[in-house]
Each structure stands twice: as C-alpha cells, then as structure tokens.
Amino acid sequence: MHLEGSCHCGAVRFSCDSPHPVPYQRCYCSICRKTAGSGGYAINIMGRAETLEIEGAENLSTYQAKMEDGVSQAERRFCRLCGSHLWLFDSRWPELIHPQASAIDTELPKPPQKTHIMLGSKPGWIVPDIGPNDKTFDGYPDESIADWHHRTGTAEESEN
Ligand SMILES: [Zn+2]
Ligand SMILES: [Zn+2]
C-alpha cells in the first residue's frame, strides 16, 4: 500500500510504501502517550525506509527519548513548526520506518483485531478498548508487525 502523510501545518509531507499498513497496535508507554497520544496511546504502523520520500525535510526535528539508562536509539521525527509527530526510525532496523497512524492522510485499513502493548505503563484513568480477539501485554508484544499481518491475513502480496 502506498502511504501519504503530512504534519498538521503542511510544512512536511512524506510518502512510503508499506506491505503492513494496518493500524492495529496501541502503545500505552509514556513516550507514546506524551509525544503523540493524548487519548492514552499512540499507533505506529510500518513502512519501507528505502521508499521514504520527504518534502520539507528542513522543517523536521528529532527527539530521542530520555530513558533510565541513557537515550533511546529510536529517532522520533516531528515538524518543528507545528509539533506533529510523523514517524520513528531506529538504526537497529534500518530497512523500516514507523509512521504515526495520525500523520497518514491515506485511508488506512480498519484493523480486524487490535494489540495493546505496554499496558503496565498507563495511568488508571485510561480504560483500554479491548475487543474479544485483541491481545494484551504489560510490556512488549510477542509478535512483530509483519507477523501480525501474516497471522490475520492482512499482509499485501507485493511483499518480498
Ligand atoms: Zn508542521
Ligand atoms: Zn510506546
């Protein structure tokens, strides 16, 4: 699937291809909640880094989250003019980028089921909307974004 995305003010536009575009995974960790998830979680999807094209890259800034043991290797890219979080890049997985679902303008597929992760990090007022087939994890999930798409039959055939 070809994905088009942008920040709110329009200074940054980007596009990428994704064989695994379903926005099924909600992360309740403090970084996602504080930077991109006022409602209690953020959703990152997946794209192929080699297909990433950016307009207005001079308006991008990067946040590497402060962790207990230093600074996260994950680079969170956002528009320095309007603050929209756009995607995450981690040099440990250089073939991937992880766009925020909120930054994508293309109509995304509806998830047939969801995965809720880092539930151990959420405050009590956030009541997750857990469906009958959803998976829940206090920490990290037991399957990758690609594996979830294969299990649920939502991966695209063009994938290699
Ligand atoms: Zn902007
Ligand atoms: Zn998170």
How does 68-86 read in b/e, with b if 16+ C-beta sit within 10 Å? eeeeeebbbbbbebeebbb
Residues having C-beta closer than 5 Å to ion ligand 2: 27, 29, 32
What values do phi and psi take at 91, rounded to 5?
Answer: -65, -10
For each of the chain's 160 residues, which pLDDT tens digit applies? 999 999 999 999 999 999 999 999 999 999 999 999 889 999 999 999 999 999 999 999 999 998 888 999 999 999 999 999 999 999 999 999 999 999 999 999 999 999 999 999 999 999 999 999 999 999 999 999 999 999 999 998 654 4
Domain 2-152, what architecture? Beta Complex (2.170)
Question: From the CA of 81, which ligand is nearest?
Answer: 1
Global pTM reads 0.92
How do beta strands 2-6 and 47-48 pair? Answer: unpaired
- The token pair that represents 95 in the structure block: 């073939």
Residue 28 C-alpha to ligand 2 middle, in angstroms? 6
Q: Which ligand is nearest to the CA of 80?
A: 1
